[in-house]
Amino acid sequence: MDITIQELKEKLDKGEEFVLIDVREPHEHEEFNVGGKLIPIGTFMNAIPDLEEHQDEEVVLYCRSGNRSGMAEHLLRAAGFKNPRNLKGGMLAWLDQYGK
């Protein structure tokens, strides 16, 4: 299920509890991020066992445009995660709406 940039900003502003993961490359993460744990999509499959403690929690995934995080969402769903969510439009949409 997708999450919009507005919904994510509201969650961050309220300090809600959820897992936030950036699946971009390290150089993209360094340029700008919204606080997510960096797990590049190329290593994501290997990281899934480390995330299993969050299987029942909301996990929000983001990338540049929403494509890589969409793949990560499907991988988590296939691994039995209950509530993985893909940030619709990714960091491009975030920067367009909110800037850095």
Q: Look up 63 and say whether it is catalytic.
A: yes
Q: How many other C-beta atoms lie within 10 A of the C-beta of residue 63?
A: 25
What strands, in cross-sheet order, belong to the sheet with 19-22?
A: 2-3, 83-87, 58-62, 19-22, 37-38
Q: Which of 20, 63, 75, 87 is catalytic?
A: 63
What span, in angstroms and rounded, lies between the C-alpha atoms of 89 and 64? 8
Residues acting as catalytic residues: 63
